[in-house]
Amino acid sequence: MRIAISGGIGSGKSTVARLLAERTGYEYVSGGVFFRQKARELGMTIEEFNEYAESHPEIDMELDSDLLSFLRRSDDFVIESRLVGWLCYRNGIDALKIFLEASRETRARRLASRERQSYQEAFSDLVRREESELRRYRHLYGIDYMDSSFYDLVIDTENLSPEEVVNEVFSRLSKGYRC
């Protein structure tokens, strides 16, 4: 089974994906790691790299192509990335597509904690990154990656711990919810 987790910055994608992988025994794959690694290679912050990618569409296309190749040749994994659910949907790849959502304020608090920065700084970074990504993906693919309408499960993580989110996924699956 393929489990694809998407959502906004700070929605809990990575944490939930790791926990799901542990509970299922599946491989954990992070799409964000590839993006952050590429930013480091170019000596840029994530924010700088996002802005750079706006004028260099080949970056997203290369990363998405690599991700798509992985999706087509692999099974029994939990993968998280901003576009993985949309890539599965668009390309007819069988996967349980999960979208995690939370308010910008909650996501900024999580980001501040993770990045060890002030809430204001985290909120500002989140808005900049999100707007940059929305522009890029709208330009490249004509999509709003925050549109959850084609996902199998949409879970509001606002007031849930990562463990509670994972329990919610298993609860829905045990009730016969299928992709």
The Cα–Cα gap between 36 and 46 comes to: 7
Is 179's pLDDT higher than 60? no
pLDDT band at 164 (very low <50, low <70, confident <90, very high): very high
- Residue 8, annotated as binding a ligand: yes
Residue 7 assigned ligand-binding role: yes
Grade residue 130 by pLDDT with cuts at 50, 70 and 90.
Answer: very high
- What CATH topology corresponds to 2-167? Rossmann fold (3.40.50)
Residue 30 assigned ligand-binding role: no
Nearest in space to 146 (alpha carbons), one of 64, 95, 86, 65: 86
Residue holding tokens 């308010």? 103
Cβ(82)–Cβ(145) below 8 Å: yes
Q: Which pLDDT value is given to residue 178?
A: 58
Question: Does the reported pTM lie above 0.85?
Answer: yes
pLDDT, position 3: 95
For residue 118, count CB atoms less than 10 angstroms from its CB and return exposed for 0-12, middle for 13-18, buried for 19 or more.
exposed
Cβ atoms within 10 A of the Cβ of 22, count? 12
Give the side-chain half-sphere CA count within 13 A for 149.
Answer: 4
Q: pLDDT, tens digit, for every residue of 82-123?
A: 999 999 999 999 999 999 999 999 999 999 999 999 999 999
11 is in an annotated binding site: yes
| Mean of pLDDT values over 156-179 | 87
Q: Which residue has the higher pLDDT, 4 or 35?
A: 4
Window from 15-19, 94-98, 130-134, 154-158 with minimum mean pLDDT: 130-134
How far is CA 28 from each of CA 116, 128, 143, rounded to the nearest angstrom?
25, 28, 26
pLDDT of residue 10: 94
Domain range list for the chain = 2-167
Phi, psi of 105 (to 5 degrees): -65, -45
103 is in an annotated binding site: no
12 among annotated binding-site residues:
yes
- If phi > 0 it is left, if psi is from -120 to 50 it is alpha, else beta; for residue 177 that is beta
* Phi, psi of 83, rounded to the nearest 5 degrees: -110, 0
pLDDT at 99: 98
- For residues 120 and 49, the model is more confident at 120
Query: Is 15 marked within a binding site?
Result: yes
